Amino acid sequence: MHGPWLRRCAIGSIVAGLVIALTGVAIAAPVGARPTQASDEKAEIVDLVRQSIEADSLKAVIIEVTRGDDVVLHKAFGESMDDVPATPKMHFRNGSVSVAYLANLLLQYVDEKKVTLDTPAPGGDPTATGRH
């Protein structure tokens, strides 16, 4: 067993990946989609979340998918504790999920050729090895 810390990190990464994947699904739909298209889009997102819950044994998922300033879907799935359904108003601690967000942002910048993976961090120590 790897312990609760590693499990939280893994689940955080899965949730971050899920959010990123869901955002991609939402952005792919044309702006000004007709209501039936919006309903289909929401159903596709819900199906993706349910598949991920099953595949990754997630206890609860809270999502918000946006397009610009418009909320496409804000929904909760599962139970946060035994017999306590998750709700969209619940909050969760960010924890190591922020590492996945930053890694995703960095790789987007690499794709956009704004930085390379060899670009030193501003104000960083260029002789640092990353070892503690």
Q: Average pLDDT in the 1-12 region?
A: 44
DSSP-assigned beta bridge partners for residue 66: 71
Q: Does residue 15 have a pLDDT over 60?
A: no
> Cβ neighbours of residue 84 under 8 Å, at least 6 residues apart?
none
Classified as helix, coil or strand, 106 is helix
pLDDT, one tens digit per residue, over 108-125 is: 999 999 989 888 777 777
pLDDT average, residue stretch 63-75: 90
Question: Which residue type, as a one-letter code, is found at position 122?
Answer: P
Average pLDDT of the chain? 75
